[in-house]
Structure 1
Amino acid sequence: MDAGFILGAIDAKYPRAVMVPEISINDPYWHDWDHRPSPDKRTDGHKPFRRIDALMFESYQRTAIEVKISASDYHLDTQQKRRPWQRVTHRFIYAVPHHLNVMAPHGCGLWKIHDDGSIEVIKKAIVNKHPEPLAQDVVLRLAYRAADKKFPETDL
């Protein structure tokens, strides 16, 4: 089972939703969690960005979907990586193969995908009833994707 299969199963379960695969958001708060001493911090204006496997739009609800195939990959994920997306979406969901024995972090949902494509909701995400608007960089990435053009990452 791979990420494509998992995203396909979610797409089949939510046929009226729109899923945008592999979308990024700039993390404006990266200095808050970069605990390296000041001389070692990046000074080139670099803005780290956080990519999710899919952003699902279902009516007016936005869901960030992060696919994890292995336990080691799952355990590398951190709150700092989730934070920018949790601020602008209603839900943050982890989608994993049914055999993966993991627990969702606080606030996040956990969906297990079976070999037949069925989805088992192990834990519902806490719904953010008032997410921030989508950041301008995300809107631009969506516009470039819709126009089938490459997003100029160096301009941000």
Structure 2
Amino acid sequence: MISAAFILEAIESKYPRAVMVPELSINDPYWHDWDHRPSPDKRLDGHKPIRRIDALMFETYQRTAIEVKISASDYSLDTQQKRRPWRRVTHRFIYAVPHSLDVMAPHGCGLWKIHDDGKIEVVKKAIINRHPEPLPQDVILRMAYRAAGKKFPEYNL
């Protein structure tokens, strides 16, 4: 079975000049617009829910959000609300899945299928966001803390 680590390694091999930042989070400033249910993600201290992607790839000046899904059940849990914060600040949003996973990419998102030998098949190209918003300060701070080898103080945001 293909693992998430294998998929990310295959993407890194295909794009050797790109920089991949794994497991990066962004605060979702619009969570209250769509979700009125009680949830553990809605903390009482006023913090917004955090949306994580498996990797943010920088290729020249293009930013690509990469979400890895290994199973159909995991894929089915993904929603437009979970993608929205990353789609706003990246040029494209890609799902990377094992070649055997039979799924369709949501509107605007790309779909890459990774074969056992690491070959990447582009099943669907993402619609390019030609003018993404700048990366929010919380994302930049998370990357800076990581580069410095320090733990990001989540309680400060």
After TM superposition, the score normalised by the length of structure 1 is 0.95
Paired residue for 2:91? 90
Residues 39-64 of structure 1: CA distance to partner in whole angstroms, max 9, x if unpaired? xx755302101000000000000000
Superposition map of 1:17-36 within 5 A: 17-36=18-37
Question: Is residue 2:48 matched to residue 1:51?
Answer: no
* Distance in 1 (alpha carbons) for counterparts of 2:19 and 2:45: 36
Paired residue for 2:143? 142
* Distance in 2 (alpha carbons) for counterparts of 1:53 and 1:42: 23
Paired residue for 1:152? 153
Paired residue for 1:6? 7
Which runs of 5 or more structure 2 residues have no equivalent in the other structure? none
Moved segments of 4+, more than 4 Å: none
Number of equivalences: 153
* Distance in 2 (alpha carbons) for counterparts of 1:19 and 1:113: 17
SS of structure 1 residue aligned to 2:138: helix
Paired residue for 1:116? 117
* Deviation of the 1:135 alpha carbon: 0.4
Residues 48-98 of structure 1: CA distance to partner in whole angstroms, max 9, x if unpaired? 010000000000000000000000000000000000000000000000000
* Distance in 1 (alpha carbons) for counterparts of 2:108 and 2:123: 13
Amino acid paired to 1:129: R
* Distance in 1 (alpha carbons) for counterparts of 2:44 and 2:33: 14
After TM superposition, the score normalised by the length of structure 2 is 0.95
* Distance in 1 (alpha carbons) for counterparts of 2:43 and 2:156: 17
Q: Percent identity of the aligned residues?
A: 84
SS of structure 1 residue aligned to 2:73: helix
Amino acid paired to 2:80: Q
Paired residue for 1:131? 132
